[in-house]
Structure 1
Amino acid sequence: MLNKIIATLVASVMMISSAFAVDYSGKTVTMWIPFKAGGGSDTWARALAPILSKSLPGNPSVVVKNVTEGKAIGASNKYFAEHGKDKDGVVVFGTSGSVQLPFLFKDKRVRYRYKDMYPVFASGTGGVVYVRADSGVKDIIKDFNKIKSSKLVYGSQGKTSLDAVPILAFDMLGMDTKVVYGMKGRKGGRAAILRGETTIDYQTTASYLKHVKPLVGKGEMVPLMTWGALDGNKVVRDPNFPDLPSFPEVYEKVTGKKFKGTEAKAWTALFTAGFATQKYIMLPKSASGAAKKAWTKAAANIVNDPSAMKIINKKLGKYDQVTGKALKPALKKATSIDSASNKFLQAWKATK
């Protein structure tokens, strides 16, 4: 009798659990990306979409929706205005450095709050700075005097976007760089240098590998440096581009100074927020416990699947893919800044 009672209770619990489980069978899951197609975030999302389809319960179709109304900030605000109270996890948000940095800079246009987001997956990335081959520059350190004496033009999305990282870096190197604002994503910056309207550009790793590396192979573009990668609290060479110096390395070589002090600390804070764990898949905090659990499990499945990681590493570069308990501290680090660095950056921003 006791065994029958226990069996009945177990069956009841299983039925209740099943009733509250998420099943996306026959549904379409949307990744809301606040950037145009062709950029780093779009490349990241499209690389993950088929892997997520395989990992989520019910194997739904996963599509990428590029929302560009109001640029990165406006499109991010729009997501939370329309989906900020969703429960089902059917429309998820893809954040990136150009969403995180305006939040750090306390941009008045920002309406989204990270405390309203529930992270389920995060990716680190890097960035490569390059110039046109007709610039005559082949090595940023050996040819630095040529670069420094040139009047450079850089196409930017905005001074509180992820472009704060290159703009501050160029300033720290003493490069005479005219910043042209108004680019619609890094794809716009890439198009501008291809047309000869700008002379220096950078792309995040995924976009660089897909769009710029072939041009380097053809002799049309020349890579100069990477932003680097975090090793503890130190910025080292990006493992995906071991032959290219990191920005801190270039800084020390061409200035003769150690990479330390207020500027270096502020730049590293931006780099950490914008690159170390740059891209997150977010559910609204309002999502049901079942939806959160389903997405968390799907994310864990991805990092534990060698075939999935092989695809990610090939398309996006070999960077940390963050899941589980590591997400909360990573997000805190990516969306907060110490007071001294913040004070410096607010004053610096006012000059740009």
Structure 2
Amino acid sequence: MKKIIDKLGRLSCVALLAAAAWSGSAAAQYPTKPITMIIAFAPGGGTDLIARLIAPYIEKHLGNNARIIVTNRPGAGGGIGFTEIAKATPDGYTIGFVNTPNMLSIPIERPSNYTWQSFDLIGNLIDDPGAFTLNTSSPINNLKELAAFAKANPGKVTVGSTGVGSDDHIAMLFFERAAGVKMTHIPYKGSGETRAAVVGGQVMVGAINVGEALAYIKGGSPIKMIGQMSAKRTVLAPDTPTFAEQGYNIESASLRGLAAPKGLPADVREKLVTAVAKAAADPEYIKKAGELFAPIRYLAPKEYAIELENTDKQLRQLWKEMPWKD
């Protein structure tokens, strides 16, 4: 009997070693099939543009003939796409962009299937300040003129954003409070739709991030920025005054980074983190991102987590003081 037990023990050890070797081999070969990259907003927005720009560089640095398929899952202010990322199988074949504050604000304002801790962070790529944009035909050219019109026409100033609880929606509420006005929020599935609404006259104000707005303007869209929500004027828009410069102490920005469902195999996670870091530092990618007016800010997973944790605390305090539901 002892010989049989010893033999079974040796077989078990062999099996475990074989499994470990297979696992290591699988990680070394990763990826062996296409990777889905989920965008929680509609095509044409800033996240969509940067995703399609950086995907080939991540493929390049992953090696193994990696292929990334960018897929849009818009709706619910990003909640549909974020949920799909969080609930996917954690095998490295589903990754996606998680945007602040939407990814943080949604679990605060309503029941959600995820929190920011539901993800394995891969790396942040963009930090884009918010802005108010109007059609170039509008006679309003600054925030004080906008506030005066809103006071004279309560509720008639319509503001498009990427959804309830988005950075732009929250900034709109801040502006309402600071200026003592009431505006009407119109949520869309992405900044591309917001831009189209401003151009088409469906909304008066488009709450669109600086990088996105500049890309649209360069592309010929008849829109103008009347204020940016950064602490100081960004190098991307040196001629556009900040909200603070115009008397409204409001700062708001959107981090856009990559994440995967929690529980990635350690080796696979390391390959993804390394590939994204190399892609973010690739000179060709940086040049092309500049052409899209994308405000790049790479954060490694640890630094990214600290940023998300701090912002989450701030938003939870804000919710207690000023719930942002429409």
Q: Are 2:199 and 1:197 aligned?
A: no
Match of 1:185 in 2: 190
Counterpart of 2:96 in structure 1: which amino acid?
F
Secondary structure (helix, strand or coil) at the match of 1:320 reads: strand
Q: 1:61 aligns with which of 63, 67, 91?
A: 67
Identity of aligned residues (%): 19
Structure 2 residue 229 is the aligned partner of structure 1 residue 227: yes
**What's 1:113 paired with?**
115
Deviations along 1:113-147, one digit per CA (max 9) or x if unpaired, are 22121111102112332112222123445786457
Q: Distance in 1 between matches of 2:173 and 2:102?
A: 18
Mean Cα deviation higher: 117-126 or 205-214? 205-214
Question: Please, which moves more after superposition, 118-127 or 70-79?
Answer: 70-79
Alignment of 1:1-352 (within 5 A): 19=25, 21-24=27-30, 27-68=33-74, 72-81=78-87, 83=88, 85-87=89-91, 89-97=92-100, 99-103=102-106, 106-122=108-124, 123-140=126-143, 145=148, 149=152, 151-174=156-179, 176-215=181-220, 220-228=222-230, 235-252=231-248, 259=249, 268=251, 271=252, 274-275=253-254, 278-337=255-314, 340-346=317-323, 349=324, 352=326
CA apart distance, 1:17: 9.4
Distance in 1, Cα, partners of 2:132 & 2:31: 43
Equivalences, count: 303
Matched position secondary structure for 1:64: strand
Structure 1 distance, partners of 2:280, 2:190, is: 28
Give per-residue Cα distances to partners, 1:274-330, cap 9 Å, x unaligned.
52xx11200222110011110111122124322222222322423322125422212
Q: How far, CA to CA, are the matches of 2:81 and 2:295 in structure 1?
A: 29
Assess if the C-alpha contact under 8 Å between 1:44 and 1:316 holds in 2.
no
Q: CA deviation at 1:161?
A: 2.6
Cα separation, partners in 2 of 1:251 and 1:124, compared to 1, 3 Å: same
Change (3 A) 1:143 1:159: closer
Q: Distance in 1 between matches of 2:99 and 2:288?
A: 20
Q: Is the 8 A contact 1:149 1:176 kept in 2?
A: no
Check the 8 A contact 1:156/1:179 in 2, yes or no.
no
Contact conserved, 2:36 with 2:71, CA < 8 A, in 1?
A: yes
Unaligned 5+ runs, structure 1: 1-14, 229-234, 253-258, 260-266
Structure 1 equivalent of residue 17 of structure 2: none
Aligned CA distance change for structure 1 residues 324 and 161 (closer, same or farther; 3 Å) = closer
Aligned to 1:3: none
Q: Which moved more, 1:311-320 or 1:36-45?
A: 311-320
Q: What letter matches 2:90 in structure 1?
A: D
Q: What is the aligned-residue RMSD (CA, Å)?
A: 2.9
SS at match of 1:135: coil
Unaligned runs of 5+ residues in structure 2 are 1-20
Helix, strand or coil at the partner of 1:335 = helix
Q: Is the 8 A contact 1:155 1:192 kept in 2?
A: yes
Separation in 2 of the partners of 1:54 and 1:339? 39
Q: Which moved more, 1:122-131 or 1:166-175?
A: 166-175
TM-score normalized by the length of structure 2: 0.81
Distance across 2 between alignment mates of 1:64 and 1:125 = 21
1:229-285, CA deviations, whole angstroms, 9 ceiling, x for partnerless residues? xxxxxx222221111111222225xxxxxx4xxxxxxx65xx3xx52xx11200222
Return the alpha-carbon distance in structure 2 between the equivalents of residues 143 and 130 of structure 1.
Answer: 11
